[in-house]
């Protein structure tokens, strides 16, 4: 399974999506900061599973229709930062989709995630990540799950990795920095948490119109996900 995650920077990079999907043969596309009123039903053969509705800039998930069948979608509003309360950029910060893998005959979960910005504390973002992963477990108890997106967590990732492992998930960073707009804030922002998948690689793709670089996650189902 090849999953692309991309923060579009206020929808600016939306015009790049078809070319990126085609160039890398993506099966799943998870987006952050997209204008959900301007998202097409299909992008380069990928079908829109759903998008958030209560955000000024939202989340969307696309999937390859001849490989997967969408069964259920769930969005979630997470604990708010002061930035969220004042500017109200995002009500829903997680969008999860339960898919039936046609070839494997199994169900999986994929999710797009966007944590609170750097003005918030890491403790708040950890709370958001913990809540999002718990919600995915509710969406499909014991199912393999992959949550990708903009975690806004450039420092102290070792601590985050430990917290994620305590929930039964693995944290995987990309092979290069994913945010380069400001020198002081450069680092790994976009990565993956997974359960029941073997992550072969998380690759940072070339930069386009966004201040975030897209990432390509190559993952394979393990034989059996043990709760």
pLDDT tens digits, 128-176? 999 999 999 999 999 999 999 999 887 777 889 999 999 999 999 999 9
In a domain, 121, yes or no: yes
Q: What is the pLDDT of residue 225?
A: 46
Domain that holds residue 212: 2-221
Cα 9 to Cα 209: distance, rounded to the nearest angstrom: 8
Does residue 214 fall inside a structural domain?
A: yes
In a domain, 227, yes or no: no
Q: How far apart are CA 63 and CA 70, in angstroms?
A: 8
The verdict on residue 156 lying in a domain is: yes
Pairing of strands 170-172, 58-64: unpaired
> Cα dist. 38→3, 31, 137, 191 in Å?
22, 13, 30, 25
Give me the pLDDT at residue 90, please: 56
pLDDT at 98 over 70: yes
Query: Is residue 175 included in any domain, yes or no?
Result: yes
* Distance of alpha carbon 35 from alpha carbon 33, whole angstroms: 7
pLDDT of 190 reads: 94
57-95 per-position pLDDT tens digit: 899 999 999 999 999 999 988 655 444 544 455 568 999
Domain membership flag for residue 122 = yes
Q: Which of 136, 54, 61 is nearest to 90 (CA)?
A: 54
3-52 pLDDT per residue, tens: 999 999 999 999 999 999 999 999 999 999 999 999 999 999 999 999 99
The verdict on residue 226 lying in a domain is: no
Is residue 41 assigned to a domain?
A: yes
Question: How many domains in the chain?
Answer: 1
Per-residue tokens: 82: 């002061």
Per-residue pLDDT at 184: 57
Task: Give the gyration radius of the chain's Cα atoms.
Answer: 16
**At 67, which CATH number?**
3.60.10.10
């Amino acid at each position: 399974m090849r999953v692309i995650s991309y923060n579009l920077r206020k929808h600016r990079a939306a015009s790049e999506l078809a070319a990126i999907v085609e160039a890398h043969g993506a099966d799943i596309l998870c987006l952050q900061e997209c204008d959900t009123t301007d998202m097409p039903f299909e992008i380069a053969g990928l079908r829109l599973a759903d998008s958030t509705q209560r955000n000024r800039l939202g989340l969307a998930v696309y999937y390859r229709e001849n490989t997967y069948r969408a069964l259920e979608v769930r969005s979630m509003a997470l604990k708010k930062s002061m930035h969220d309360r004042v500017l109200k950029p995002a009500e829903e910060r997680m969008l999860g989709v339960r898919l039936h893998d046609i070839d494997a005959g199994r169900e999986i979960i994929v999710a797009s995630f966007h944590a609170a910005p750097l003005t918030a504390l890491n403790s708040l973002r950890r709370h958001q990540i913990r809540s999002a992963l718990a919600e995915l477990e509710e969406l499909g108890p014991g199912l393999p799950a992959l949550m990708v997106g903009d975690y806004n967590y450039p420092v102290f990732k070792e601590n985050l990795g430990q917290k994620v492992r305590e929930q039964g998930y693995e944290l995987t960073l990309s092979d290069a920095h994913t945010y380069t707009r400001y020198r002081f804030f450069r680092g790994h922002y976009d990565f993956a948490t997974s359960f029941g998948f073997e992550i072969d690689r998380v690759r940072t793709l070339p930069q386009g119109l966004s201040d975030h670089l897209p990432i390509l996650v190559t993952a394979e189902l393990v034989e059996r996900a043990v709760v």
